[in-house]
Amino acid sequence: MALKSPWRADFPGVLALEAEGQTYLDSAATAQKPQALLDALLGYYASGAANVHRAQHLPGERATRAFEVTRSKAAQWLNALSTDEIIFTRGSTESLNLLAYGLEHLLPVGGQIVISAAEHHANLLPWQQLAKRRGLELVILPLDQSGDVDLHAAMRLIGPHTALLAITQLSNVLGRWQPVAALLAMAKAHGALTVIDGAQGAVHAKPDVQALGCDFYVCSAHKLYGPDGVGLLYGRGEALAHLQPWQFGGEMVLDADYHEARFRPAPLGLEAGTPAVGAVIALGAALAWLSELDHAAVAAHEGALHAELLRGLQARAGIRLLGEPQLALACFHVDGVHNADLAHLLSEQGIAVRAGHHCAMPLMKHLGLGGAIRVSLGLYNDGSDLQRFFTALDNALELLR
Ligand SMILES: Cc1ncc(COP(=O)(O)O)c(C=O)c1O
């Protein structure tokens, strides 16, 4: 009996793709959306759009209230102490760029920024560029065979010069929970700032920023069954107080003159310009929908699907997995087969998977690969999706080998 997702019917996009003969296995790139989100988005626009925090009129008050409800829901979702610790951005990429600019003044010249070898470009390039701007050293923590940061090496590399640690919680290529607790403890022992890239992690376990004890945590709504164009940046109250704005304009100002200005504290001081009002309101609906789920049942379903995915890949000759993925996804390479050719043949059979470097080019180079295929799962996937994938994979490999 193929595994069945009890949540699939809530996702019109999954059903529409299925009716078109498409099997969606690319949720690590972006997730499909529940009906509750579509209803909230339509409800907001259909009842009258308005800008937030500025207007005294009824639609403006209504939009502001709904917008701020999402902030409270996001604070609850992340287990932040206060709603003021939640900043809306455009996504994880923007959150990390905001941090790289807004923390620059705190990092001493000659200090070190520490990241891992598994980082997505979004958690590499902002720090790399900051290191160049400011004369800092970028230190890369190596990985072990399974794909985890090597803690022995980390113990050597994190030290008194470490000014900031930025680490992914769950790798988008290797599918491993990184040992963030141990790494944060090392960094904090040296008084360093700590940043967690939760773009993938937030999707597969409810984050608890207080338990993590990080200064900053970022994630993207669109991967979390929410809308495009919205990201969450959590900042621990004390750390957030030192984060400087990197964008200037409307909404974030306390007082402005032609030659001087004073800015609001977080969160509004870090949200210059008109935000994605409708999308933020829709994110509130997605978070409400997510909060209602039986999280143990979701984890069990995703775990069973993932085990089936690994079993199928490991049973086929010539397939090499990248690391030892624990959940959510698997990246693989087939000996003698170019990943783009394989992706093309899979796509021709209606299988939507991702091929290429997965925005982690240095990791791919380190693994000696030009690219890999990634199959990634959402809670709406069924065993039948995997069966279709494996049938298509066998057909493609027969042609290519
Ligand atoms: C681990 C990780 N970090 C950061 C990002 C960037 O997210 P976004 O494109 O939503 O800004 C991604 C997206 O794939 C990711 O997987």
Paired with 354 in beta bridges are 374
Q: What is the pLDDT of residue 2?
A: 83
137-141 and 86-89 beta bridge pairing: unpaired
317 Cα: distance to centroid of ligand 1 (angstroms): 31
Active site residue 214: no
Residues of the chain with pLDDT under 70: 1
Q: What is the CATH number of domain 38-291?
A: 3.40.640.10
Instruction: Please tell me the predicted confidence (pLDDT) of residue 210.
Output: 98
DSSP state of 360: -
Domain boundaries, the chain: 8-25+294-400, 38-291
What confidence tens digit (pLDDT) does each residue in 352-389 have?
999 999 999 999 999 999 999 999 999 999 999 999 99
CB 169 near ligand 1, within 6 Å: no
How many angstroms separate the Cα of 222 from the Cα of each of 71, 90, 257? 16, 10, 38
Tens-place pLDDT, residues 39-50? 999 999 999 999
Taking the CA of residue 171 as reference, the ligand 1 atom at the shortest distance is 1
Residue closest to 271 by CA, chosen among 244, 252, 243: 252
> Is residue 377 within 8 Å of 15, Cβ to Cβ?
no
Is CATH 3.90.1150.10 the right assignment for the domain spanning 8-25+294-400? yes
10 Å CB burial of residue 206 (0-12, 13-18, 19+) is middle
172 Cβ below 6 A of ligand 1 = yes
DSSP type of residue 244: P
Q: What is the pTM of this model?
A: 0.97
Q: Please report the pLDDT score of residue 56 as a whole number.
A: 86
Between CA 234 and CA 11 the distance in angstroms is 28
Q: Which of 145, 151, 73 is nearest to 320 (CA)?
A: 145
